[in-house]
Structure 1
Amino acid sequence: MSVAQLLATHSSAELTEWIAYEQVTGPIGPARDDLLMAVLAATISNANRSKGRKARVTDFLPKWDRAKKRMNWQDMLTAVKSINRTLGGDDLTEGGEHGSPLGTPRQARHRQPGADRRR
């Protein structure tokens, strides 16, 4: 899928949600091969180890969420809005910079442009 196709089929709000999700959980899709590699590394390590502590998969898995303090939802929303602004997106939430009659992003992204217009 090209960038133009992506932008034509996904709203800024939806892309921002995916960016925020990936920042917390780590790569999405084939990039998540780190888990498969951790399983393989633990298996090889355990097959070749002498007596002692057995290796766990988590010993070889990168830690993606390195935040010392877990953010509450308000802090997360502030961070997402900041990323959205940086990427040039519109804030469709109530009270957002570019408030919209469509309401929240969740409602807005599922409506077709012009769907509220009466004929």
Structure 2
Amino acid sequence: MKIKKIDHFVITTKNLEKSIAFYKDLLGMKHVENKGRHAFIFGNQKINIHLKKGEFQPAALHVEYGSQDYCLIVKEEIELVKEEIEKKEYPIIEDIVKRHGSQGEIKSLYIRDPDGNLVELSNYCN
């Protein structure tokens, strides 16, 4: 077996409105709702949002708010992303640093979503 790509992952939120403000308004993802299920779409991927722990089964064994740590690749230069976040007065947890992504060296900055999940925003140093 060979894994091809990530399709989606799930975050459980305490506050849907704050999550919408973060993922849609700050990060620019598309919010969709279908029969009470919420998701944020970006590119060919999505983040499903559950409103309570273990809302849909099967679920992770130990669902916790704010326990995710993930990296999103941005289209723009990371310096421009930093400027945009600062203009929106959203707190940056760690300023731009070099890291290693799945395809090579990346420049990253870190923010937290309303539930405390660590969101690494990055682009490749090509």
Q: Do the two structures share a fold, i.e. TM-score over 0.5?
A: no
Higher strand share: 2
Q: TM-score, normalised by structure 2?
A: 0.24
State the TM-score, normalized to the length of structure 1. 0.25
Looking at both structures, which has the greater relative contact order when contacts are Cα pairs under 8 Å and sequence separation is at least 6?
Answer: 1
More helix as a share of residues: 1
| Larger gyration radius, structure 1 or structure 2 | 1
